[in-house]
Amino acid sequence: MSTLLAKSDPRETLLDHTQNCLDVYNSLRERMPFLAEVAEVPDFFEHLFYAVALHDFGKAATGFQNQLTGGDRWNYRHEILSGGFVVNLQYPKETKQAIALAIFTHHKDIETLKDKYSCGQENESDQQEWQKRVAELAPNWDILMEIQEQVQQWCPTAGCLWTPVESTDQLIGGYREYLKPYWNSKVDRELTPLHKTYGMLMRGCMIACDHLASNVNAKNEIQTALDKLEASLVQSIEQRGRQFHGWESFQEDAGKTDGQLMLSAPTGSGKTEAALLWSDKNQCKTKGNRVFYVLPYTASINAMYKRLKKLVSDEKIGVLHGKATYFMYQALVDKDYTPQNAAKYQAIYQAFIDQGRDHESAEKLVRQKRAQDERDLTKKICRPYKVLTPFQLLKAFFGIRGFEMQMAEMSQGLFIFDEIHAYDPHTTALILTMIKKLREDYNAKFCIMTATMPQFLTDMIMKAIGEFTPVDMAPEDRDKFTRHRVKLLDGNIHDAIPKIKDKLNQGDSVMVVCNTVKQAQDVFQELQHGADNAKLLHSRFILKDRERIEGELENADLLVGTQAVEVSLDIDFDCLFTEPAPIDALIQRFGRINRKGKKGICDVHICKEGGKSDKYIYSTEKVERTINAFASVVNDTLKESKIQVLIENVYCEGYDDDEQATFDKAKRFFEQHLRNIVPFIEDLSGRDEFESLFKSIPVVPMTYKDDYSAHIEAKEYYEAMSYLAQIQEYQFARLCRDDLLSKDKELKQWFINVCYDENLGLIFDEPNPNIF
C-alpha cells in the first residue's frame, strides 16, 4: 500500500487530511488567539497543535485501511491507537494528558470508549486486544513514518517538542496514564484545570479542526467578522432608499460602549444597527469573536437572518432553530435553486438520476442535501454571525454531544439578546444562569436590548451580566415614535364584532388578536365574509399552509390571529382589536399597527373581558393591572415615553409567587447541573433534559398521512416536514385519552384524527369527516 487513506467518500489521504486540519488550526490560532486567555494556559495553541497533528495516526492500521477500500468493518477505534503517539512528547504529565485526551475523544467520549472498546487494558483480554490492534500498524509503519517526519516541519514554534515514534513497541495505551485518572478525578470531585475551560477548549477545538477540515463545503478556515461594518450598515440603509444623516445619539453611544450594554429604544428606531455597532466596537483586532443574535421566535429569527444576510453575505452568517434546515430548504425552493448553480452538487444530482429518479425528485433531494450541508456548517465554528434561539445556546450546557465545540465558539463571544422579556420564568432562569456562566468563565460580552422592560427584570439581568453601560433613547426622541391611541371596550371580542365590521366597511385594514386558537377560529368565521381578503394565522396550521398564509398577508384587509402575529411579521395594519393580555404582550401587538409611523395616530382597541381559557395562559392579576394602567391613558395618544411607566405599574411587584417559585427552582437545578458538566464526558441524560424544555409535539393531520408517507419513502424529508403541525403538551394528553392520536411505529410519527382545514387549521371540536 503506497498511500494511507483518512477517508473514502470523498477520498482523502491521511497526509492531506492532517494538513487540512492544520490549516483550520492555523486559522483558529490566527483569528481566535484569545482562546489561550480563556483556557488560562498561555501555551494552549502549542498543546492543540500536537493533538491535531497526531490525531489520526491510528488510521494507518490495516483493518481501518481495508475498511476504507471496501473490506469488512474494523470494529475498533483509530483514535485509541492515535493516542499512543503522545509517548514522545517532551511535556509534563499533565500537558501530555490534555493532548492525549483531545486525541482519544475527538470522536467518542471517555465513557463510550471505556464501556464499548477494549481500551481499558486492565485485564489480560483487553491487553491482548490492544496489542493485536497495535500490530496492525506495523505493515504500514514506513509510510506512517514519512508522515510523522512532517510534524517537525508543521510545528508553529521554533523547537518541536515531539519526535517520531520509531516502532510500535514504543506506543502506550494511555488508559491507565490519562483516561482513568481523569475519570476518577471527576467521580471524586477532585477537579483539575482539564475538567474546566482548558479541557473544554482542547476537545472543542480539536473536534472543530477535524470537522471543519472534513466538510467539503468549508474552506479550511475560520471566517472573520465583517470588516468595516459601520460603512456596510450605512450602505445598507441607503440601499433601502433612505438618506443617511448620521447615527442617532443612542446608536453612537452603543457603538462607543466597551463591555456589557443595556440598550432601550422603541421598535423601529434602529436598535439592530446600534447592537451591530456595539459588536464591531467589541471585536478583537483579528475579527475572530463570534456574534450571536438571539431572538425568542422562529419568525423573528428567519426575518433577522434574511436581513443580516444582505449585510454580511451568505458565507458569514447562519441560522439555527428547531426548523432551521426546513427553512433553508424552502429558501432554496423559493430561489428556484438548481444543481447547475453549484457545480459540486452536479455529481449528487446525476447519482439520483442514475438511481432512476425523475428530474423533479432529484432536484428536491439535491436541495435537501444542500440545506443539510448549510446546517452542518452553521453548527461548526466557521461562521462569525449566527441568528438563533437561546435554546440553541443552552444545548451546550446540557452536555449534549459536541458541547465542547460550542463552548469554544462561545468563548469571548458577543451576544445580542433581543426581546429577552418574552420568556417564561423557567426559561428566563436558564438564560440568566447561562449568561452568568459565559461571562465569568468564558469572558463573553452581552448587549441586552429592548423597547421596554420592567425594572425587576433589569435587576435580575444585572446580576447575571455584572456592571453594564445603560443606553436609553431620550424621552423627547422616544415620543417621535408615538403611533397609537388606546381605546378600552366593554365586553369581550365577540361584542366588538360590530365595531370591527364598521372599520372594515370604512376601508381600514384590521388586525384582531385572540388569546386562544379556538377563539381566533370562531372570530374569523364570524368576520371572514365581511372582508375582501381575510386571513387567519395561529400555531395549529401545518407548515406549508402557515408559510402560504404568511406570504399572503401583505394585501390582507383582515387578519385574525393569536400570539403568532405578535412578532416579526412584516405587516402594517390600520387598527387593532385585541383580547386583554399582560402589557408586554399588548405592546407587541400594538407594534403590528402603523408600524412605520406613516399613518398618523391609529387606534388600538382592548376588550376588557377575555375568554374562559385565558386564566390558563396569563396571570389574571397582571391582566387586571394592565387594563387599569391603560385606563389612565384611554382615548389619549399613547406616548412612547409613557409606556415604561405603565409597565412599572403592572410589574411593580415582579413575578407573582408561583412565577418566582418556578424561577428559583429552575435556577437551582441548572446551577447544580452545570457543576456536573465536564469536558470529554457527554451527559447521557442531557438530551432528554434538553428536549423536555419544549412544550409542543409535532403531529400530522390524518388526511395527509398518505402524502407524508410517500415523501418519507422517497427520502424527501423536508417535503414531508411541510405537513407537520404543532400541538401543546397538555393537549397531547387529552387527545391521547380521547383516542384522537395514533403513532405509526414505522414512521415514528404521531397522526391526529381531527378535522383539518387549510384556512382554519386543526379544529379540535369537530369530528374528522374522513373517519368512517
Give the model confidence (pLDDT) of 153-207 as tens digits.
Answer: 999 998 999 999 999 999 998 888 999 999 999 999 899 999 999 999 999 999 9
Query: Confidence band (pLDDT; 50, 70, 90) for 336?
Result: low
* Residues facing 697 on adjacent strands: 727
3-state secondary structure of 117: coil
Give the model confidence (pLDDT) of 389-410 as tens digits.
Answer: 999 999 999 999 999 999 999 9
Looking at residue 162, what DSSP letter applies? B
pLDDT at 769: 42
Cα 717 → chain centroid: 20
- For 449, residues 6+ apart whose C-beta sits below 8 A from its C-beta are 261, 262, 263, 264, 265, 271, 274, 275, 416, 417, 418
Return the higher-pLDDT residue of 543 and 686: 543
For the chain, what percent of residues have pLDDT higher than 90?
75
Query: Confidence band (pLDDT; 50, 70, 90) for 341?
Result: low
pLDDT at 121: 62
Location of C-alpha cell 453575505: 313
Report the C-alpha gap between 575 and 592 in whole angstroms: 9
pLDDT at 337: 52
Report the C-alpha gap between 707 and 724 in whole angstroms: 11
Q: Is the pLDDT of residue 342 over 90?
A: no
pLDDT at 216: 65
pLDDT at 771: 35
Location of C-alpha cell 451568505: 314
Report the C-alpha gap between 626 and 65 in whole angstroms: 70
* Residues facing 727 on adjacent strands: 697
pLDDT at 770: 39
Report the C-alpha gap between 583 and 580 in whole angstroms: 9
3-state secondary structure of 767: coil
Mean pLDDT of the 370-374 span: 86
Mean pLDDT of the 86-101 span: 96
Return the higher-pLDDT residue of 338 and 68: 68
Give the model confidence (pLDDT) of 652-665 as tens digits.
Answer: 999 999 999 999 99
Report the C-alpha gap between 391 and 324 in whole angstroms: 13
* Residues facing 561 on adjacent strands: 513, 537
CB of 418 closer than 8 Å to CB of 388: no
Report the C-alpha gap between 327 and 190 in whole angstroms: 45
CB of 363 closer than 8 Å to CB of 339: yes
pLDDT at 218: 64
CA angle 56, 59, 62 (to 5 degrees): 165
Average pLDDT of the chain is 92
Q: Residues of 241-275 as b/e, b for ≥16 C-beta within 10 angstroms?
A: eeeeeebbebbebbbebeebbbbbbbbebbbbbbb
Q: Is the pLDDT of residue 1 over 50?
A: no
Query: Confidence band (pLDDT; 50, 70, 90) for 772?
Result: very low
CA angle 404, 408, 411 (to 5 degrees): 135
* Residues facing 197 on adjacent strands: none
The 10 Å Cβ neighbour count of residue 376 is 15
Report the C-alpha gap between 61 and 70 in whole angstroms: 15
End-to-end CA distance of the chain: 67
* Residues facing 416 on adjacent strands: 293, 447
Q: Is the pLDDT of residue 380 over 60?
A: yes
- For 115, residues 6+ apart whose C-beta sits below 8 A from its C-beta are none
Q: E strand or H helix at 291, and its extent? A: strand 291-294
Mean pLDDT of the 117-135 span: 80
Instruction: Look at 502-511, 563-572, 676-685 and tell me which has the smallest mean pLDDT.
Output: 563-572
Query: Confidence band (pLDDT; 50, 70, 90) for 543?
Result: very high
Instruction: Look at 53-62, 100-109, 170-179, 489-498 and tell me which has the smallest mean pLDDT.
Output: 170-179
pLDDT at 334: 63
Return the higher-pLDDT residue of 342 and 221: 221
Q: E strand or H helix at 458, and its extent? A: helix 455-465
Report the C-alpha gap between 206 and 209 in whole angstroms: 5
3-state secondary structure of 273: helix
Mean pLDDT of the 109-133 span: 81
pLDDT at 185: 93
Give the model confidence (pLDDT) of 29-52 as tens digits.
Answer: 999 999 999 999 999 999 999 999
- For 260, residues 6+ apart whose C-beta sits below 8 A from its C-beta are 439, 445, 446, 447, 448, 465, 466, 467, 468, 469
Mean pLDDT of the 551-574 span: 87
Backbone angles phi, psi at 418, to 5 degrees: -110, 145
